[in-house]
Amino acid sequence: MIKVKVFTENDKNEIISLLNNDEIVAIKTDTVFGIMARMSYKNEKEINLLKKSDNNKKISIIVENKDFLFKYVENLNDEKRNLIDEKLPGKYTFIVNLNKDFCKNKGFNRTDFGVRVTTNNFLQEIISKTGPLLASSCNITGLEPCSNTEEIVNQFKDSKLYVVAGSVTDNTPSTIISLIDEIKIIRK
């Protein structure tokens, strides 16, 4: 019995509704397919359960635009602000400390998050209606990240998961740069 349900980008309103009802949806980004849900502590646990990951694994977020970072990142000096301005939107994840009240409102005790701004217009439209989305690579822990709908359906065939059909040709993950304390490249 297949529990995965596939949509197309034409089903945008239904996808937004699913996400706003705390469902988990696989959507392609400008790098890889991501498993996404609205930003909440509960949904972070659900994504880790779905991926068979460590329950305490931290998951990054994707936001609509870089203004989010300028509004919610703590201790953002001119050098860090300029780096964000230069690299985003794009294939970069910035590890930052977000505003404590913002994080607490989402159910988190932590403030450190990887944050991305995608160049994918469809995903930007979705996020404009859902707010920040948790996003983790679309794969069961230990398996290769999925690069198309068929791989997702096969890998998650026994799971409840919604998928926006498509494929990615460049399955290269984003460059990760920490902006906590000094600027440091974590993954290139």
Residue 166 or residue 172, greater confidence: 166
CA-closest candidate to residue 136, choices 19, 2, 29: 29
pLDDT tens figures, 135-150: 999 999 999 889 899 9
The CA-based angle 124-127-130, given to 5 degrees, is 160
Contact between residue 16 and residue 126 where contact means Cβ atoms under 8 Å apart = yes
Mean predicted confidence (pLDDT) in 12-29: 96
Share of the chain above pLDDT 70, in %: 98
If one counts the domains in the chain, the total is 1
The answer, yes or no, to whether residue 168 has pLDDT greater than 90, is: no
Name the residue range of residue 103's domain: 5-187
pLDDT tens figures, 37-56: 999 999 999 999 999 999 88
Query: Which of 30-34, 113-117, 121-125 has the lowest average pLDDT?
Result: 30-34
Average pLDDT value for the chain: 93
Longest dimension (CA), the chain: 54
Q: What is d(CA 50, CA 35) in angstroms, rounded to the nearest whole number?
A: 9
Mean predicted confidence (pLDDT) in 144-171: 90
pTM: 0.93
pLDDT tens figures, 54-101: 988 999 999 999 999 999 999 999 999 999 999 999 899 999 999 999
The answer, yes or no, to whether residue 185 has pLDDT greater than 80, is: yes
Q: What is the pLDDT of residue 1?
A: 45
Q: What is the pLDDT of residue 169?
A: 79
Domain with residue 13: its CATH number is 3.90.870.10
Instruction: Provide the residue type at 121 as one letter.
Output: N
